[in-house]
Structure 1
Amino acid sequence: MNAEKVVEHIVGWLKDYATNAGVNGFVIGISGGIDSAVTSTLCAKTGFPVLCVEMPIHQGANQVSRAKEHINQLQERFYKVTSIEIDLTNTFEEYKKVIPVTDDKATVNLSLANTRARLRMTNLYYLAGLHGLLVAGTGNKVEDFGVGFYTKYGDGGVDLSPIADLMKSEVYKIAKVLEVPASIQVAKPTDGLFGDSRTDEDQIGASYDELEWAMNVADEGKTINDFEGRQKEVFTIYSQRNRANKHKMDPIPVCEIPADLK
């Protein structure tokens, strides 16, 4: 991959989209992770205003520090980058007081994790409406079209997706070209939705390199019977998540009414 040319292409695409949409710029949630760092830098390179938003909800200190480091670096490099921190922890805790729960703690915790992402999406769209901005998505190709590792109407609720055609390994290559802070480039990927130290690999059961391999061989038409050992295990993880999360990756199904019934 020619990372420099890819950067140039994405920046041009973002410029054209924002110009045609008649908006003032972009707003993006900054998590301290590689995807949001790359996406926000690409947006900043367009020359349009970019609003970087920190939205901690019981966030780990290392995630917060990486996010601040990135925003500070971005503001030093691009004068149209601004930032705001909106701590949603109290909002989240108040919400938890009024909702019903069940005895299935795992299900409750997962639902609450997704609620965090949806609170952030709501906040981003409020700011977008306030300032005439587009919400820039941070999902990469493996997450968005491979295993569906994102929250529907949470971090999946965006106006445009600049890096959704890049594999995770390609995002890292782009990050080097964009001079994203080293602390972010070496950090283990995490969605930060559970308030603990679990990584994406802990949740999924496979690394992004493994998932990329599975996605590629699946596209080649390979099946579970073509593999054994760890490869079979990874392919199974990929296939199961791909099937289970089709509702996120496919268009919303519409019940079409036959003409003779109308």
Structure 2
Amino acid sequence: MNTEKVAEYIINWLKEYAVNAKVSGFVVGVSGGIDSALTSTLCAKTGLPTLCVEMPIHQAESQVSRAEEHIAQLKERFKNVSSVRTNLTSTFEEFKSIVPITEDKTKVDLSLANTRARLRMTTLYYLAGINGSLVAGTGNKVEDFGVGFYTKYGDGGVDLSPIADLMKSEVYALAAYLGVPNSIQKAQPTDGLFGDSRTDEDQIGASYDELEWAMKMQDEGKVADEFNGRQKEVYEIYTRLNTINQHKMIPIPVCEIPNEFME
């Protein structure tokens, strides 16, 4: 990948889209992870107003400190960058106190994790609305179109996706080229939605390098029986997630009424 040309292309794409949409700039949720760090840097480099938003919900201190380090660095480098911190912990706790809680802890934990992401989406759109901006998504290609590792109408609810055609390895390469803090480049990827130390790999069962390989194998028409050992295990993880999460990747199904019923 030609990192210089890719970075320039995305920056120009972002700027052109915003100008054509007649909006002032971008709003980006910054988590302390590599994807949001890269996205916010690309938005900042357009020269358009870029609002970086921290939205902790029982967040680990390491994630908070990385997000703060990145935002401080961006504000020092770019005069068009501003930031706001909206602590949603009390909002989240209030939500938990008014909804039914079932005995199925696994389902409850997952639903509450997705609720965190959707509270953040709501916050980003509020801030985008009052600033006349677009919400920039932070999903990469493996997450968005491979395993569907995001929350529908949470971090998947965005106006545009500048890095969704980049593999995770390409995200790291571009982030290094653009000077994202080393602490973020070295951190284990995590969605931070469960209030513990679990990583993306812990949840998925495979690393992003392995998932990229599996995505390439699927594109080449390979099937699980062509592999053995860890490769077969990874490929089966990938294809299972790709299948069950198709509802996130395809347009919302619309029940189209036959014309003869409408006459």
TM-score bucket of the superposed structures, by smaller chain: over 0.9
The one-letter code sitting in structure 2 at the alignment partner of 1:165 is D
d(CA) in 2 for partners of 1:188 and 1:20?
37
Deviations 1:70-115 (A, max 9, x none): 0000000000100000000000001100000111101100000000
- Please state whether the residue corresponding to 2:218 is helix, strand or coil: helix
Per the alignment, residue 112 of structure 2 pairs with: 112
Aligned partner of 2:134 in structure 1 is 134
The answer as to 2:35 corresponding to 1:44 is no
2:21 matched to which residue of 1? 21
Q: Deviations over 1:102-135 (max 9, x none)?
A: 1110110000000000000000000000010000
> How far apart are residue 140 of structure 1 and its match?
0.0
- Map of 1:147 onto structure 2: 147
Q: Equivalent pairs: percent with the same residue?
A: 73
Match of 2:239 in 1: 239
Alpha-carbon distance in 2 for matches of 1:203, 1:225:
24
The aligned residue for residue 229 of structure 1 is 229
Could you say what secondary structure the match of 1:203 adopts?
helix
Structure 2 Cα separation of the partners of residues 235 and 141 of structure 1: 17
Quote the residue 1:82 is aligned against: 82
Aligned to 1:28, what secondary structure does the other structure show?
Answer: strand
Distance 1:45 1:66 in 2: 20
SS in 1 for 2:51: strand
* Distance in 1 of aligned mates of 2:249 and 2:242: 9
- For residues 155 and 197 of structure 1, what CA distance do their matches in structure 2 show? 20
Q: Does 1:202 align with 2:202?
A: yes
Find the counterpart in structure 1 of residue 69 from structure 2: 69
Tell me the alpha carbon deviations over residues 184-231 of structure 1, each in whole angstroms, 9 at most, x when there is no partner. 000000000000000000000000000000000000000011101000
Query: How far apart, CA to CA, are the structure 1 residues paired with 2:131 and 2:12?
Result: 22
State how far apart, in whole Å, the 1-side matches of 2:105 and 2:254 are. Answer: 33
2: CA distance, partners of 1:15 / 1:118: 27
Deviations 1:142-193 (A, max 9, x none): 0000000000000000000000000000000000110000000000000000
Displacement of 1:258 in angstroms is: 1.0
Give distance in 2, aligned partners of 1:77 and 1:144.
30
> Secondary structure, in 3 states, of the residue corresponding to 2:84?
strand
Instruction: Give SS of 1:149's match.
Output: coil
Give the aligned residue type for 1:31: S
Name the amino acid aligned to 1:193.
L
Gaps of 5+ in 1: none
CA offsets 1:60-79 (integer angstroms, 9 cap, x no match)? 00000000000000000000
**Equivalences, count:** 262
What SS is found at the alignment partner of 2:126? helix
Report the counterpart of residue 169 of structure 2 in structure 1: 169
Q: Please tell me the root mean square deviation across aligned C-alpha atoms, in Å.
A: 0.3
Paired AA for residue 183 in structure 1: S
The residue type paired with residue 16 of structure 2 is D
Structure 2 alignment gaps of length 5 or more = none
Extract structure 1 runs of 4+ deviating beyond 4 A. Answer: none
- After TM superposition, the score normalised by the length of structure 1 is 1.00
